[in-house]
Structure 1
Amino acid sequence: MAVRPEGTPCWADAMFPDIEAAKRFYGPVLGWTFGETATEFGGYTQAYADGKAVAAVVPPAPGQEGQPQWCLYLASPDAEATAGRIREAGGELLLEPMRVGDFGAMCLAREPSGAVFGVWQGGTHEGFEAVAVPGAYCWAEVFTREPEKADAFLTAVFGYTAKRIEDDAIDFRVFDLGGDPVLGRMRMTDDFPAEVPPYVNVYFTVPDCDAAVAAATERGGVVRFGPADSPFGRLAALTDPQGANFSVIDVTTRSGEMPRAAEAP
């Protein structure tokens, strides 16, 4: 697999207090199967779509119990160097750079407006084996109440080019790498309860958005938005039974004109 440019989303995982319940939920909703649990790595369990590794679930380590949430990892050729830029740009390292066997190296960080993300330096595990196909990662957006802080941080650390979506109804940025869009940023409005912290919303591809939503609600998931048509696909925002937020999108069902984007000031 070609080396991903630094800052490219390359992996996603989530900590769940009940791993078996997570597998029972995400298996039918996203069509995942699961590999063997790696007990030497804290119960890390990879999820597969059509035989390709697309994500992982893991129980929390002692002392790390908290609200389950999906964590997006951004590619880095040198996790130590990226961690240094994270500090310089005002971010907080939640987990210092560390080796994970021969799989690679990682760190966890919180950007200045509060959203948590990971950095992954690939070794034998390069990251997603498939993207933008049913069951696989497709897109992600940083949801924040302080977009100016997030924008300045992300462009400083990863060298993104920011573009502003020309829509008076929302404050949305798209971050490009080499001309390719890789990440979005949305300002959280008053529609979000005050207790919901900034987070990275991860989108997984599904062949049928409505069917995925039905499968999720049948298994205790909550619909927060949608299903709704968009120029990017039919999508919905969900919360799983253990409280982790994520979105699903059918990229084959599109409606409306693509929004215009301009270079952000």
Structure 2
Amino acid sequence: MIPERGPYPDGAPCWPELTTDDPEAATRFYREVFGWTCKDLGPRVWNYTVCLVDDKPVAGITPPAVGLSSVKAAWTTYLATSDLEASAVRVEANNGKLVILPSMLSNLARCATAVDVEGATFGLWQAETLIGSRLYAKPGGMCWSELYARNTKVADPFYEALFGYEQDQIGDGIDYDYVIWSIGDEPVCGRLRMPYESEGVPAHWKTYFTVDDCDATEARIAPVGGEVLVRAYDMPHGRVAMAADPTGALFAICQHHDERFTG
């Protein structure tokens, strides 16, 4: 029996949600790649699909909200909050913008969607019956989230104002600028300053999913309509690869060998 994740502290990525205009294609893809089973909550809940591993919720798939049909397919990282309204106020007080106002997602959570000072989309998640992903750093579950920022001098203060992250600089901060954001003593997510050669790529959050075997999972992606963008390679915390699903949404996979990132 895989142990379930306990409550997430405020500011921790807790729920990955895919927005796509072709949920059926996405559902078929992730069933094959991660072995997810999927439960459609029906039209009264925006045709929202909850994805599960061993009956434990690990992610959501949804069509775009009304009025946002032109939104590009993407995974959204939801950050846990114990007070959705207060977090939403801090977003706008620090020059972010609410895209979807606080609302109920069935009986699972109260949530909102926002963009930060550079335009990166993220969500806020106040748990009701679902704390977020019930698996963390276990096969099929999320394991890490990163903000890819262009101007760290505005991105870092924005998120610090939202959740009071403590920062641990990795690298020299010049040629390689990566920061681990922690709540207390728990590393919860990272921030990467995008290299200059990625000019034109907008700021964004990226979700990593845990797999038992990175190379074997990578090999399943293309045959079911996805695309491997960066072949599997080794990092200090694990073996990772970057990919896109058939609807164009980007994600990453990771086979861990660093206990700091295993929940």
TM-score (norm 1): 0.90
The correspondence of residues 189-228 of structure 1 with structure 2, limited to 5 A, is 189-192=195-198, 194=200, 196-228=201-233
| Equivalent of 2:59 in 55, 62, 67 | 55
- Pick aligned residue for 1:229 from 234, 242, 260: 234
Alpha-carbon offset, residue 185 of structure 1: 0.6
- 1:114–1:144 CA contact under 8 A, matched in 2: no
Instruction: Give, as a single letter, the amino acid of the residue that structure 2 aligns with 1:240.
Output: D
* RMSD (Å) for aligned C-alpha atoms: 1.7
Q: Which moved more, 1:94-103 or 1:139-148?
A: 94-103
* Residue 33 of structure 2 is aligned to residue 34 of structure 1: no
Matched, 1:90 2:95: yes
Aligned partners of 1:28, 1:243: CA distance in 2, in Å? 17
* Alignment partner of 1:8 is 2:12: yes
1:145 to 144, 150, 153: 150
Indicate the residue corresponding to 1:64 in structure 2.
Answer: 68
1:190 Cα deviation after fit: 3.4
Instruction: Percent identity, please.
Output: 38
5+ residue gaps, structure 2, are none
Give 5+ residue unaligned stretches, structure 1.
Answer: 259-265
**Counterpart residue identity of residue 77, structure 2:** L
Q: Report the Cα offset of residue 70 of structure 1.
A: 0.4
Q: CA deviation at 1:40?
A: 0.9
Deviates more, 1:57-66 or 1:16-25: 57-66
For normalisation by structure 2, the TM-score amounts to 0.91
Secondary structure of the corresponding residue to residue 246 of structure 2: coil
In 2, the alpha carbon distance for the partners of 1:137 and 1:28 equals: 17
Match for 2:79: what amino acid? Answer: L
Does residue 1:158 correspond to 2:163, yes or no? yes
- Give 4+ residue runs of structure 1 displaced > 3 Å after superposition: none
Q: Secondary structure at the match of 2:114?
A: strand
8 Å contact from structure 2 (residues 96, 115) kept in 1:
yes
- State the aligned residue count: 253
Three-state SS of the structure 2 residue aligned to 1:163 is strand
Match for 1:36: what amino acid?
D
147-156 or 100-109: which moved more? Answer: 100-109
- What per-residue deviation string (whole Å, max 9, x for no partner) do you get for residues 12-37 of structure 1? 11111111110111111112111134
Q: Distance in 2 between matches of 1:101 and 1:240?
A: 26
Q: 1:131 to 1:46 in 2, by over 3 A?
A: same
Match of 1:263 in 2: none
Deviations along 1:117-140, whole A, 9 cap, x unmatched? 000111112211111110000001
